[in-house]
Amino acid sequence: MENGAAKPVIVAIDGPSGTGKSSTSKAVAAQLGLSYLDTGAQYRAITWWMVTNGIDIEDPSAIAAVAGKPEIVSGTDPDNPTITVDGTDVSGPIRTQEVTSKVSAVSAVPEVRARITELQRSLAASAEVGMVVEGRDIGTTVLPDADLKIFLTASPEARAARRSGELKGADVNATREALIKRDAADSSRKTSPLAKADDAVEVDTTELTLPQVIECVVTLVEEKRAGK
């Protein structure tokens, strides 16, 4: 950072799953010395808590009633992002198929979004060096005043292939169907839908390698910093 007085920069990276969002966000944060926040992990964490505690996922009012109960703590080191619920490390359990299949329903409940959004804003506000915040509604709802907003996209085929690579043994077609279904659910929900902010820079990652996407985003952040 130039003369140690660089202003903290808040970078919002949104987009559907399978666009390279997490890998890109983590790498950019690490490269530029910024904190990193995976907001999707927070929604997965509250979903895991609901499932573990036997809350009826089909009943929004039941979810709303307990949205304030779990204590969710996110570690923001891009080299070792952590997430705990009531003191328990849940970084593994939140990635199960059971949680993945229920996260859209839980995330759609306004009380859940209000709770998690508040958590995200306080983390971003306290990031001394700045932060890369990755999610689906960061640029539009959570941090509309972010210094830089990036929206990553990719074709459904490319995204499914990447996701199946992550989900061992997954069928590409089934993964593609699941992705399209989840996008539809997240894009059409009334509260903070998945959407591209008007002032976001769109980066189509279909034909790009991960290092190319990272390089592109790092350049955008550096240009933003230099222009301040």
Token pair 């990719």: residue: 154
Give which of 228, 220, 227 is closest to 32, Cα–Cα. Answer: 220
* Residue 39, annotated as binding a ligand: no
Would you say 19 is a known binding-site residue?
yes
Q: Is 227 annotated as a binding residue?
A: no
Tokens of 174: 């089934």
Compute the residue count for the chain: 228
Residues 6+ apart with CB under 8 A from 103: 40, 43, 44, 47
Q: Please tell me whether 16 is known to bind a ligand.
A: yes
Asked if residue 92 belongs to a known ligand binding site, the reply is no
List b or e across 169-190, with b for residues whose CB sees 16 or more CB atoms inside 10 angstroms. eeeeeebbebbeebbebbeebe
Cβ atoms of residues 85 and 74 within 8 Å: no
Q: Taking a C-beta distance cutoff of 8 angstroms, is the pair 37, 131 a contact?
A: yes
- In one letter, which amino acid is 68? G
Q: In which element (H, E) is residue 110 found? A: helix 110-125
Does 70 count as an annotated binding residue?
A: no
Copy the structure tokens of residue 185.
């659910």
To the question of whether residue 22 is assigned a binding role by annotation, the answer is yes
Q: Would you list which residues are annotated within the binding site for ATP? A: 15-23
Q: Would you list which residues are annotated within the binding site? A: 15-23
